[in-house]
Amino acid sequence: LEKKYVMGNEAITRGAVEAGVKVAAGYPGTPATEILDRFVEYPHVHAQWASNEKVALEVALGASLAGVRAMAVMKHNGTNVCTDILMHLNFTGVSGGLVLVSADDPGGLSSQNEEDSRILVHTYANLPVFDPSSALEAKAMVKEAFILSESTRMCVALRPVMRVCHSRAIIPFENYDPADAPLAHWVDDRERYIMSAVEVRELGGIKRPQARHRWLNAKYREIQTLFENSPFNAIEDGEGDVALVGCGIGYSYVKEAQAIIGSRLPVFKLCTLPIPIDRTLRFLKGKKRVVVFEELEPVVENLIKELCQEHHIDVEILGRSGFYPSDGELTVSTVIDALRRAAPSLENNRPPKVRRLSIDIPVRTRTQCVGCAHRALLYNVKRIARKQNGIVFGDIGCHDAGAFKPLELQSTIYCMGSSVPMATGAFFAGEGRPVFSIIGDSTFFHLGINGFINGTYQGATQVVILCDNGTTAMTGFQPHPGSGVNFYGEISSHVDLVKLGESVGATVFTVDPYDLDATYETLLEASGTDGLSLVVASKPCFLRASREGINLFEPLDGVRVDEERCNGCMMCINDFGCPALVYDAEVGKVHIDEISCVKCGLCINVCKRGAII
């Protein structure tokens, strides 16, 4: 036994390894990415970055039915993508332990939305969910999830929130022997694995979906009973008739909050779904008011309210439904405020004084890195879109920052792969303005490819600009089917984007985004072409290349602004927006920040007055 100071994500990886996982598949997405990334240290496990999360879960399911322990790893948006397979594997059950890790991002710190994937997995698919309160508990829960999954033949989900994934803690690494893990042994079980509208003879001819639904409902109740004794739930006695329920990270904040203000309200640590009925009823006994702290929706709060109604219990249940904010990440401050309002006896338990500055603090938004090829490409797309009054549909990836100030190029950002079909729809709406979409390579392989094939097939005139940097850059350089390497960095097959586009029937163009003039001309030609045009803009990620000591361009000796010529028109900042270009309001001119400038010299061509030299 060894102790290591690691991220919650790595604790989850280690838990799965100690549990004997054989196959792990996922798609990168903050805050879940490192869970799969870390399998690189355990080559006896087959790990893979799948092209999307649904594929990942299906890979893991196939491995589970073949008898081994398997895991699928994703962020909440990915779990949405998985909904279809999730709503089938819940009916069939599994064979080898199958664990779905769905990491949530309350507050949307690194996401396009904020949501609570417990609803999809538990409330919709009726599957059990563990909601870890810490990195240490997450590791214990993964191991328990495999055991529970195998004993009940149910897929079990772990739902860590970002503060668990990205927390760091001292974690024990226990010994394991890969030889202890179950071996593959496929057993046909058509009664379960054939999900189709076929009559079930033994049940009087009802259809298979209804029969499996009956099984699922019984399983749910069985697991609910098992959770009466779950080590992840615990009642902690305290004083008074106002009590607290802490779910997942909410429990940790409750403990911290009580320590800070010196209160001793009773606490129910409740980190499983379904919730245990008897244990919950025991906790509610003699209470007047209970506040539930959970991320992010009132899931447990509503379950306890249902229980109170069914059992005619007169306890006021408060929580996410409005007693404290119904959106955003929980904090200790939120908990302290809520429990002082819930328990008037805490009037003298003062919260920490929070100092406020008397000064306006500007927000800091992100943009592309200095030197990034996306910036050069976005600059040209903006020129073309402006010239032709086009509408630009955006997608997920580093290039999405082109939608923010200063460029404000893309008019939409939704979910993975949505840019191309939305442009198709706008075209057929008869909008009349030319339509463009900007999508990255990893997103293209994820779900973008479906809309791309559809757009070509339907005959929409639209331009698809594929920002191909050869990797999933935003999450830390995970490979994808176009990278030419697999999870382990070994040479693999790779999709040729040009051939793919041609075989689908698109008119394909290629550009080097660093070549500003040629890119402009090609984009102009593409936008004048009937049908779907695919512009493949291939250039490795600058950040990754610079870390690996690879030069994507010959750095100039120096880049500077000729103050005589600069008239402060701001065109370089508005249309190009490199963070190394700094506007000095006092002199009304732009200068180049030497610390951040990487001397790519692209901005020299952007200034029409020739003031950047």
* Interface ranges with another protein (CB under 8 A): 5, 30-31, 109-110, 134-135, 163-164, 166-170, 252-253, 255-257, 259-262, 331-333, 336, 349-369, 398, 401, 404-406, 543, 570, 573-574, 577, 579, 581-583, 585, 595
Q: 474 by DSSP, 3-state: which?
A: coil
Q: For residue 421, is the peptide bond before it cis, meaning its omega torsion is within 30 degrees of 0?
A: no
Nearest to 100 by CA among 152, 146, 147: 146
Helices within 50-105 (DSSP H only):
53-65, 76-81, 83-92
DSSP string, 512-539: -TT-HHHHHHHHHHHHTSSSEEEEEEE-
Q: State both tokens at 103.
A: 């990491």
In the complex, minimum distance from the CB of residue 236 to another protein, in angstroms, rounded to a whole number: 13
Beta 462-468 vs 532-538: how paired, if at all? Answer: parallel
Range 352-355 contact pairs with CB under 8 angstroms and sequence separation of 24 or more: 352/260
Residue keyed to tokens 């010529």? 565
Beta 129-130 vs 272-273: how paired, if at all? Answer: antiparallel
Q: How far apart are CA 71 and CA 58, in angstroms?
A: 10
Closest CB to another protein among residues 156, 257: 257
CA-to-CA separations, 282 to 237, 277, 473, in angstroms, rounded: 12, 9, 50
In the complex, minimum distance from the CB of residue 343 to another protein, in angstroms, rounded to a whole number: 15
For residues 9 and 166, the answer to whether their CB atoms sit within 8 Å is yes
- Where do the DSSP E strands lie in 332-486? 391-393, 435-440, 462-468
CA-to-CA separations, 443 to 140, 311, 380, 425, 558, in angstroms, rounded: 33, 49, 21, 19, 36
In the complex, minimum distance from the CB of residue 329 to another protein, in angstroms, rounded to a whole number: 9
In the complex, minimum distance from the CB of residue 167 to another protein, in angstroms, rounded to a whole number: 4
In the complex, minimum distance from the CB of residue 591 to another protein, in angstroms, rounded to a whole number: 11
In the complex, minimum distance from the CB of residue 368 to another protein, in angstroms, rounded to a whole number: 6
* Contacts for 50 with CB less than 8 Å, ≥ 6 apart: 25, 26, 27, 56, 59
Q: How far apart are CA 207 and CA 195, in angstroms?
A: 10
Closest CB to another protein among residues 26, 274: 26
In the complex, minimum distance from the CB of residue 384 to another protein, in angstroms, rounded to a whole number: 23
Beta 462-468 vs 391-393: how paired, if at all? Answer: unpaired
CA-to-CA separations, 123 to 278, 280, 327, 390, in angstroms, rounded: 20, 18, 19, 43
Q: State both tokens at 196.
A: 């189709």
Q: 605 by DSSP, 3-state: which?
A: helix
Residue keyed to tokens 């610390």? 595
Burial 515-547 (b: 16+ CB within 10 A, else e): ebeebbebbeebbeeeebbbbbbbbbbbbbbee
Task: With both helix axes pointing from N to C terminus, report the angle between 299-310 and 277-284 in degrees, rounded to the nearest 10.
Answer: 80
Task: With both helix axes pointing from N to C terminus, report the angle between 135-152 and 8-18 in degrees, rounded to the nearest 10.
Answer: 30
- Cα Rg for the chain, rounded, in angstroms? 27
Closest CB to another protein among residues 439, 543: 543
Closest CB to another protein among residues 58, 441: 441
For residues 24 and 16, the answer to whether their CB atoms sit within 8 Å is yes
229 Rama sector, left if φ>0, alpha if ψ -120 to 50, beta otherwise: alpha
For residues 534 and 452, the answer to whether their CB atoms sit within 8 Å is yes
Cα 244 to the center of its chain, rounded Å: 30
